[in-house]
Amino acid sequence: MRIIDYLEAKYGVGNATTMLSCEARVFGIRGKLQKGWLSRIGSVEITPDMANKLKAELARSSAVSAVTGIQILNSAWIELKSKPAANSRDFLQSKAWKRLRLIALNAHGRKCQCCGAGPENGAVLNVDHIKPRSLFPLLALSLGNLQVLCSDCNEGKGNWDMTDCRKAY
């Protein structure tokens, strides 16, 4: 379940125009909602950790829609739990990651976004997390955080390195 799915389940399709401040906090938004917030974070997958944190916050909230939020999270729990934890050893083997990885490869044209090499040049392509999943687990399944790199370009990049190589290749 992505953030937009949660909000649309709660407020109705097309009506995901706002959220509670506790929801914004859990989803990583600081301060007021800025224009375009939904297109920025809507596709982020809600992880089991996020859902648990959110349920605890909603339970403390007096907002009318808080109860609905808890119900939505509870009914989606089985699906949420099947999402791999960002730091788990199984992450790279999970269906959710493999599916997203393929979407990223297709979206970026199966070329290294740093040097332009592709399989036709013998390059082995990797899908890289720009912000590493160890430090930014909430972005582990976010398409906007992925770039395609060949092994050569990827090798020098450690978990501390957040170089965004995305170019017009």
The contact set with Zn ion (CB under 5 A) reads: 112, 114-115, 117, 150, 153
Shortest distance (Å) from residue 3 CB to Zn ion: 32
Shortest distance (Å) from residue 151 CB to Zn ion: 8
**Contacts (Cβ under 8 Å, ≥6 apart) of 83:** 45, 46, 47, 48, 94, 96, 141
Residue 70 token pair: 């808890």
- In the bound state with Zn ion, the residue whose beta carbon lies nearer, of 7 and 114, is 114
- In the bound state with Zn ion, the residue whose beta carbon lies nearer, of 44 and 123, is 123
Shortest distance (Å) from residue 118 CB to Zn ion: 9
Q: How far apart are alpha carbons 159 and 79 in whole angstroms?
A: 29
- In the bound state with Zn ion, the residue whose beta carbon lies nearer, of 54 and 117, is 117
- In the bound state with Zn ion, the residue whose beta carbon lies nearer, of 14 and 122, is 122
Closest C-alpha to 142, from 50, 12, 31: 50
Residue 139 token pair: 């972005």
Spacing of C-alpha 142 from chain mean position: 3
Q: Which amino acid is at 26?
A: V
Shortest distance (Å) from residue 117 CB to Zn ion: 5
